[in-house]
Amino acid sequence: MIRTAAILLLIAGLAPAVGAAPIHDLAAIERTVRQFVAAGAATAGDVEISVGRLDPRLRLPRCDETLDTRYPNARRSSGPVSVEVRCNGAKPWSLYVPVTLTRYAEVVVTTRPVARGQVLAPTDLALARRRVDGARADFLAGLNEAAGQVTRRSLAAGAVVGANQLERPRLVRRGDHVMLSSGHGGINVSVKGEALADGGAGERIRVRNLSSERVVEGIVNADGVVVVGHGAIL
């Protein structure tokens, strides 16, 4: 009899109290946070939202008003953020929910292993969806940005290709004999010179005129000719 009474008392202690205040649904809070973050991330492109799970032991009175949500700190486009959820109803409460934002984009990747110093051909490249946040922020979005460029280091197959990993082909090497060209008033003058630095198409280098020994600056064109300013003295 005593044992039976003890069991009944234990069951009564585990059962919810009659008339206990209703508890706010934690899953509903998580959905509210997700919707709030998604609305702000809609213009940020391809963003994956991961809302931290609330402790199931948390007991918050059911809010009789629409929940307020805000970023307590400056909003970030990627990485960990915190969202404040506040109830301003008859039984107010607030809590902070952790959220992780992961950005993705279609970026240039290699289709095969590529050695250092190799000129990238169109067949070496493809577009693929990759993470582009944090340390992965160095990437290219267009195949034409990488094709024809030279790799500064070896790249594995499927590696994301970034601007810092590439350089323009060296059309001119230091010590090379090049043509210096200058035009003015429909007259073009060309003389031989010695390159004082390496240079790719569109890059500015210094060149010594082999006849006058004058050092001038010019821009390397696609043919490897160094073009100086109009009317410049060669």
pLDDT band per the 50, 70, 90 thresholds, residue 73: confident
Band the pLDDT of 188: cuts 50, 70, 90.
confident
Number of C-beta neighbours around residue 144 at 10 A: 10
Q: What is the pLDDT of residue 231?
A: 64
Find the radius of gyration of the CA atoms of the chain.
33
Q: Poorest-confidence range of 34-43, 77-86, 104-113, 180-189? A: 180-189
Question: How far is the C-alpha of 24 from the C-alpha of 55, rounded, in Å?
Answer: 13
For residue 125, what pLDDT is reported?
Answer: 97
Of 46-55, 108-117, 129-138, the least confident: 129-138
Give the C-alpha separation, 223 to 119, whole Å.
Answer: 17
Which residue ranges form the domains of the chain, and what is each CATH number?
Answer: 24-103 (no CATH), 104-167 (3.90.1210.10), 177-227 (2.30.30.760)
Spatial separation of the C-alpha atoms in residues 73 and 99, rounded to whole Å? 13
| Percent of the chain residues topping a pLDDT of 70 | 89
- Count CB-CB contacts under 10 A for residue 111: 14
Closest C-alpha to 104, from 172, 28, 154, 50: 50
Q: Residues 62, 129: contact at Cβ < 8 Å? A: no
Pick from 212, 218, 215, 128: nearest CA to 172: 218
The pTM (predicted TM-score) of the whole model is 0.64
Work out the pLDDT band at 3, boundaries 50, 70, 90.
Answer: very low
User: Residue 17 has which token pair?
Assistant: 């109290």
What does the CA dihedral 179, 184, 188, 190 come to, rounded to 10 degrees?
-30
Could you tell me what percent of the chain has a pLDDT over 90? 68
